[in-house]
A and B are shown apart, each in its own frame.
Chain A
């Protein structure tokens, strides 16, 4: 069957909506292999893959899942992703995962790892404490963290992680990152063709699909979309930031786009784009993974920034993508995003870049209000431009 953009996106939406993770179940059966889940933002998926397992990104339950028991575990002032993740766990939807990784991103996800230890005994649960010291000291610590994780992956999978298997996995993920970068470039070049809702769904599909399948999907989509004749629209170009963990509902992504904004860069499913350069394939693949984490990556709120460059990553994104403004879209009660926001807003003000800000939850129903806000923001840019 010819893979058109439309049927690729339909497939992605099916995967996005399937909170029973049937793909994972089928993949495990077909490959007689295991699967390891991970929470946002970043884990070295290559290491899971090199053990012959399927890395599965868990990003909450979205707006399609009713929370029945999960709310009883959290106070009203805690964000939504941990409660829907607990709901997924309690309803058996994560039973096909043979382990779950909780990378260090904030105190809520950190404490969720402890809750998981108490609630789901017997599963492999790992709090991945990534170093915030990116020098020699952090290198030694992260090496030990990865060695510990690799040993666990070998035990769970029954497969040895060799230099060859790790190099193969790194190469596959490098190619995936290259294709994703190409997709982002294509959207920035022709945002009327590469709808952001399409891109969002393609990125979410990467959480589930085996990497080679996802890479092929990206290739097919780009071939199809380049040949499409979607109409040019008079939208303003904006960068969306702050949505790196709990994801906005698809309806909200569509609403922002339909309000008159071409989203030309963003930070959702950020683990896909964490490394800015390809990871070295060679004699020391484990060391290469470590260097990739310590070295050139995106700037995001969960990663400590000691220098004076705070906010400049976003400014450069705006400049590189010829964007005209920034939308801060942060999950309610998201400490990292909301604590980062005033610092970055100060930098945008200094750089004369307009912005607007709102909060959402993964099950936000008040789409119209946000649509009006982003629409007004787009109109103001069109009318008055950058002051």
Chain B
């Protein structure tokens, strides 16, 4: 492994940084520029629709994870707990509430504007409902909810599709029209959706590049950066497409030159273990967390967390010919909106398609949507694939629930298990 002291930055990383900084700059000046602001969630987000109204989105869970990475979340969580929030519940929520109570300063240090609309995309997570009920108490603005029914039987039924589409047409679009003072420009929406589909195509190519050996990407630790533009404020915009073109060129270059992904420790070219991973990462010690794996020569070849804001590998693309229907299908298709048997199948396919040595579950204390049932999922996947399953625990943004020593211990046993299986094979 080629260890370097300085973190390598590729063009795509720098571009993304500029995009994010630019977005937060626009948000900080939203009121003076007379721009309306919509708070909404990543899973099932309606970025194209928001952008079609020329509004700016804010994603509370992205602010929370950014606070985690910047070591601010611990204080924010304690601030929320001081005001009566339980230690048992989602730390994203508490981090967001704490940040708001401390002045709502965004990740780049600039103040975030208050919302003009709370757009609650209720997709794959019950806590989202409560989160926006909490925000509703804090902000004097309208709220509109879009419910995406859960794919309990492993499919999207016509009734589910109709329900979401009707809500979009009859509830969400009118709410956006009211707040923005504009009628929906359907041609503009189509343009945005066309661009989304092109970016999605590029992202799928990037995910599939991990089938190479060595893998040119880390689909988890690197993957969380790759999803940045498409899952948040940029999907549908030209800069989003540009970002994925540049990223794809970088990935193609690494494939051609048999190079591994860039990690904080340098390029990971000697890849000892190819692993599929389920569950979100820990953000408060993100770099340490990544280093634990990079030091062992682990490359993550596929992950489920990077599908929370859209699962594209099965062919779904936003469709300009069916704008609202396809926005609805997008919401319905996000990873945590899938049943547990379907999630097992997704992971099984990843393990087989990406020729993984095993799979790992990072079980997150404050995310029941992901975590409840993961121990059974692990058994089922082991049974179906014969590959070794590992289980570690941490939290999203609560630094009190990250123990590098515990994780290392568990991983040590886990890698021994993989080695034993290799010898056995």
Give chain A's interface residues, CB within 8 Å of chain B: 72-75, 77-78, 82, 104-108, 110-115, 117-119, 126-127, 129, 131-133, 135-138, 140-141, 144-145, 301, 304-306, 310, 330, 332-336, 338-343, 345-346, 359
**B380 touching A113 by the CB < 8 A rule?**
no
**A114 touching B341 by the CB < 8 A rule?**
yes
Question: Which of B122, B126, B149, B340 lies in contact with A141, CB distance below 8 A?
Answer: B149
**Distance of A346 Cα from B344 Cα, bound (Å):** 42
Question: Which of A108, A114, A144, A332 lies in contact with B152, CB distance below 8 A?
Answer: A114
**Distance of A133 Cα from B159 Cα, bound (Å):** 14
In the assembled complex, which residues on chain A have CB atoms less than 8 Å from the CB atom of B134?
Answer: 339, 342-343
Who on chain A is nearest to B140 by CB? A308
Question: Which of B130, B341, B369, B371 lies in contact with A75, CB distance below 8 A?
Answer: B371
Task: Give A81 Cβ to nearest chain B Cβ, in Å.
Answer: 11
**Distance of A138 Cα from B372 Cα, bound (Å):** 27
Question: Which of A78, A138, A341 lies in contact with B368, CB distance below 8 A?
Answer: A78
Who on chain A is nearest to B131 by CB? A339
Task: Give A345 Cβ to nearest chain B Cβ, in Å.
Answer: 5
Q: State whether A133 and B86 are in contact (beta carbons under 8 Å apart), knowing that A111-B368, A111-B372, A339-B127 are contacts in the complex.
A: no
Q: Can you report 7 residue pairs joining A to B where beta carbons are below 8 Å apart?
A: A75-B371, A107-B372, A111-B369, A127-B150, A127-B153, A137-B171, A340-B133
**A73 touching B143 by the CB < 8 A rule?**
no
Question: Which of A72, A77, A114, A140 lies in contact with B166, CB distance below 8 A?
Answer: A140
Give chain B's interface residues, CB within 8 Å of chain A: 83-86, 88-90, 93, 122, 125-127, 129-131, 133-134, 136-137, 143, 145, 147, 149-150, 152-153, 157, 159-160, 162-163, 166-167, 170-171, 339-341, 343-344, 363, 365-366, 368-369, 371-376, 380, 393
| Complex A-B, nearest 8 residue pairs according to Cβ-Cβ distance, in ascending order | A114-B340, A127-B152, A339-B130, A144-B159, A141-B163, A338-B86, A342-B84, A111-B372
Question: Which of B127, B166, B340 lies in contact with A115, CB distance below 8 A?
Answer: B340
- Chain A contact surface mostly: helix
**Distance of A338 Cα from B94 Cα, bound (Å):** 12
**A306 touching B126 by the CB < 8 A rule?**
no
Question: Which of B84, B153, B365, B368 lies in contact with A106, CB distance below 8 A?
Answer: B368
In the assembled complex, which residues on chain B have CB atoms less than 8 Å from the CB atom of A304?
Answer: 122, 129, 133, 145
**Distance of A82 Cα from B90 Cα, bound (Å):** 19
Given contacts A110-B150, A111-B372, A304-B122, 10 further A-B contacts (CB under 8 A): A75-B374, A106-B126, A107-B372, A108-B372, A115-B376, A133-B163, A141-B163, A301-B130, A339-B90, A359-B88
**Distance of A127 Cα from B137 Cα, bound (Å):** 31
Who on chain B is nearest to A127 by CB? B152
**A335 touching B89 by the CB < 8 A rule?**
yes
**Distance of A104 Cα from B134 Cα, bound (Å):** 20
**B170 touching A75 by the CB < 8 A rule?**
no
Task: Give B295 Cβ to nearest chain A Cβ, in Å.
Answer: 26
**B147 touching A118 by the CB < 8 A rule?**
no
In the assembled complex, which residues on chain B have CB atoms less than 8 Å from the CB atom of A73?
Answer: 373, 375-376
**B90 touching A335 by the CB < 8 A rule?**
yes
**Distance of A306 Cα from B380 Cα, bound (Å):** 39
**B373 touching A115 by the CB < 8 A rule?**
yes
Question: Which of B83, B340, B372 lies in contact with A78, CB distance below 8 A?
Answer: B372
**Distance of A307 Cα from B117 Cα, bound (Å):** 14
**A338 touching B372 by the CB < 8 A rule?**
no
**Distance of A53 Cα from B374 Cα, bound (Å):** 33
**B340 touching A339 by the CB < 8 A rule?**
no
Task: Give B151 Cβ to nearest chain A Cβ, in Å.
Answer: 9
**Distance of A292 Cα from B256 Cα, bound (Å):** 63
Who on chain A is nearest to B146 by CB? A133
Q: State whether A339 and B167 are in contact (beta carbons under 8 Å apart), knowing that A104-B150, A113-B152 are contacts in the complex.
A: no
Q: State whether A107 and B368 are in contact (beta carbons under 8 Å apart), knowing that A132-B147, A133-B145, A335-B126 are contacts in the complex.
A: yes
Q: Which of B90, B149, B393 has the most CB of A within 10 A?
A: B149
**A310 touching B133 by the CB < 8 A rule?**
yes
**B147 touching A107 by the CB < 8 A rule?**
no
**A140 touching B339 by the CB < 8 A rule?**
no
**Distance of A108 Cα from B90 Cα, bound (Å):** 13
Question: Which of A107, A144, A145 lies in contact with B125, CB distance below 8 A?
Answer: A107
**A137 touching B170 by the CB < 8 A rule?**
yes
Task: Give B220 Cβ to nearest chain A Cβ, in Å.
Answer: 20
**A305 touching B133 by the CB < 8 A rule?**
yes
In the assembled complex, which residues on chain B have CB atoms less than 8 Å from the CB atom of A133?
Answer: 145, 147, 163, 167, 171
**A72 touching B375 by the CB < 8 A rule?**
yes
Q: Which of A135, A304, A345, A359 has the most CB of B within 10 A?
A: A304
**Distance of A108 Cα from B93 Cα, bound (Å):** 18
In the assembled complex, which residues on chain A have CB atoms less than 8 Å from the CB atom of B366?
Answer: 77
Question: Which of B85, B127, B157 lies in contact with A342, CB distance below 8 A?
Answer: B85
Task: Give B390 Cβ to nearest chain A Cβ, in Å.
Answer: 14
Q: Which of B162, B166, B343, B393 has the most CB of A within 10 A?
A: B166
**B133 touching A118 by the CB < 8 A rule?**
no
In the assembled complex, which residues on chain B have CB atoms less than 8 Å from the CB atom of A336?
Answer: 126, 130
**Distance of A132 Cα from B145 Cα, bound (Å):** 9
**B341 touching A335 by the CB < 8 A rule?**
no
**Distance of A310 Cα from B137 Cα, bound (Å):** 9
In the assembled complex, which residues on chain B have CB atoms less than 8 Å from the CB atom of A127?
Answer: 150, 152-153, 339
In the assembled complex, which residues on chain B have CB atoms less than 8 Å from the CB atom of A114?
Answer: 152, 339-341, 343, 373
Task: Give B120 Cβ to nearest chain A Cβ, in Å.
Answer: 9
**Distance of A105 Cα from B343 Cα, bound (Å):** 20
**Distance of A82 Cα from B375 Cα, bound (Å):** 13
In the assembled complex, which residues on chain B have CB atoms less than 8 Å from the CB atom of A107?
Answer: 125-127, 368-369, 372
In the assembled complex, which residues on chain A have CB atoms less than 8 Å from the CB atom of B373?
Answer: 73, 111-112, 114-115
**Distance of A257 Cα from B341 Cα, bound (Å):** 44
**Distance of A144 Cα from B89 Cα, bound (Å):** 33
**A77 touching B365 by the CB < 8 A rule?**
yes
